[in-house]
Structure formats: C-alpha cells, structure tokens
C-alpha cells in the first residue's frame, strides 16, 4: 500500500511538472517577421535534445528568441533544468551544454550550479516525503552499503559527500534519492551538490560555449578530464580522513 501511495504521489508531481513545461512550450512568444522567415519554421516544436544535432538546432532557435524574449528563455531553461534534476531524468550534460551556448560561461556556470543543487534538493525532498517505500523495495541491497559508508564517515560527512560527487561510486540520481533515507541532512546535501558538481558543470558549460565546434560527447569527458576530477575527489576526501585519524589518536590517548 505504501509503495502504491508513493507511486501516485510522485506520479502526480511528475504530471504537474510536465504540464507546466507543456504550457511553456505551446505559448511561445512571437518572433519578429525577419527572424521567422530566416528560421523557415512556421510550427516550432520544443523538446529535450538527445544528440548534438538536436542540441545545436535548439540552441540556434533559443538564441533567436533570447534577443527579444530573454525572460521567457530563462524561465524555460530553468524549468526544464529543474524538471530533469527533480525527477532524475538522464541528460544533464545536454542542459549544461545548452546553458553554455545560450548564456556564456560566466553567467551559465553559477546558474547551472544553483539549478543542479536546487533540482537535486527537490529530488531529495520528493524521496523524503514519498520515496522511502519505493527505494527500499527496489534498491535496498544498494542502500545498505552506502548507509554503512556514511556512518563510517560521520566525522567528516561533508567531505565524504563531496568525494561522492567529484568521483561518484554511485550515480548522482541514486545519491539524490537515497540521501534522505540514510540520514544525510538537507543543508549538507545541498552544499555538497553545489560544490561537488562544479568541476563537471564547468567542463560541460565551457564546451557548450563553443558548441558548434563539438562533434562528439566523447570530446567532453576525456582521460585528462577524468584524472583531474579524480584528483579533486581525493583532495575533497583528505580532510575527512585526517580528521578521523586525529580523533582516533585523541581517543587512544584519553
């Protein structure tokens, strides 16, 4: 019964959010006549990009709208970004690329970082309110090892959470859904997502700012990038490990 209730509650939230995006997509502002003839599209369909060609076309279209309807493009982008993050829908890389293409590095970077943390926190709250029964029913074997790791790192929990974001041993969507269930406080969760995903967001946004030159997603995550992310993850984990070692040493002396 609890699982069924959770499905209905999450489903209701999903349908409401989807309806909001639908309303935005069917109430597009009018383009100036010269831009309408240049685009050559009388009927415009907005949808989430699934490849680089879709992304390039969408970026070009929204750039045209942004000139005279900046507020609409910003509202649409933020709504779509939060939608993907809240409901753990794959494809955040495309949203970061799109942000870089539309707004440039130094505006899109803080914007996407805040949207990432806010959307992940919405997923956290949704799971906290309705998702426990579903998560424990379908992912209990994966939750238990993660909970044990969290308990082992309570003294340096924030640094451990940063490590998980910088060098994820579990997918981000899984961490977002399970964090309230394994007792991670919302404030620490929000900050760990905000800071921990900054390197990844920056790499994607930087690439998005030169979107026309990118031919494959493999150009974004290279071996060099992975090594740098791994180094950042180890640096994030180090303070927590040192604190634990210091505390153990102090306990032995006492």
The per-residue pLDDT for range 128-152, each reduced to its tens digit, is 988 887 888 888 888 888 888 888 8
Contact predicate 113/194, CB 8 Å: yes
pLDDT over 60 at 33, yes or no: no
Stronger pLDDT, 39 or 227, i.e. the higher one: 227
Query: pLDDT tens-digit profile of 147-201?
Result: 888 888 888 888 888 888 877 667 888 999 999 999 999 999 999 999 888 888 8
Q: Give 93's contacts (C-beta < 8 A, 6+ positions apart).
A: 204, 217, 220
* Average confidence (pLDDT) over 5-28: 87
Q: What is the pLDDT of residue 237?
A: 56
Judging by beta carbons within 10 Å of its beta carbon (0-12, 13-18, 19+), is residue 208 exposed, middle or buried? buried
pLDDT over 80 at 110, yes or no: yes
Question: What residue ranges do the domains of the chain occupy?
Answer: 2-29+42-253
CA gap 168, 149 in Å, rounded = 13
DSSP annotation of 183 reads T
Length of the chain measured in residues: 254
Task: Assign 38 a pLDDT band (cuts: 50, 70, 90).
Answer: very low
């Amino acid at each position: 019964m609890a699982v069924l209730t959770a499905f209905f509650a999450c489903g209701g939230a999903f349908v409401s959010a989807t309806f909001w995006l639908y309303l935005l997509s069917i109430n597009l502002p009018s383009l100036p006549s010269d831009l309408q003839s240049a685009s050559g599209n009388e009927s415009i369909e907005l949808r989430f990009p699934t490849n680089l060609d879709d992304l390039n076309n969408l970026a070009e279209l929204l750039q045209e709208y942004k000139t005279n309807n900046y507020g609409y493009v910003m509202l649409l982008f933020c709504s779509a970004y939060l939608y993907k993050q809240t409901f753990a829908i794959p494809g955040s890389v495309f949203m970061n690329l799109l942000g870089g293409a539309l707004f440039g590095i130094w505006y899109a970077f803080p914007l996407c970082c805040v949207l990432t943390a806010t959307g992940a926190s919405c997923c956290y709250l949704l799971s906290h309110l309705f998702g426990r029964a579903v998560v424990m029913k379908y992912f209990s074997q994966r939750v238990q090892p993660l909970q044990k790791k969290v308990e082992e790192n309570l003294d340096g929990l924030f640094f451990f959470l940063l490590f998980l974001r910088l060098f994820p041993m579990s997918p981000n969507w899984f961490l977002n859904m399970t964090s309230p269930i394994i007792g991670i406080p919302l404030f620490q969760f929000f900050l760990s997502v905000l800071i921990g995903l900054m390197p990844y967001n920056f790499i994607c946004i930087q690439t998005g700012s030169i979107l026309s030159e990118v031919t494959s997603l493999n150009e974004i995550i290279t071996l060099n990038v992975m090594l740098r992310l791994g180094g950042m993850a180890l640096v994030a984990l180090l303070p927590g490990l040192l604190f634990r070692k210091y505390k153990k040493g102090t306990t032995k002396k006492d």
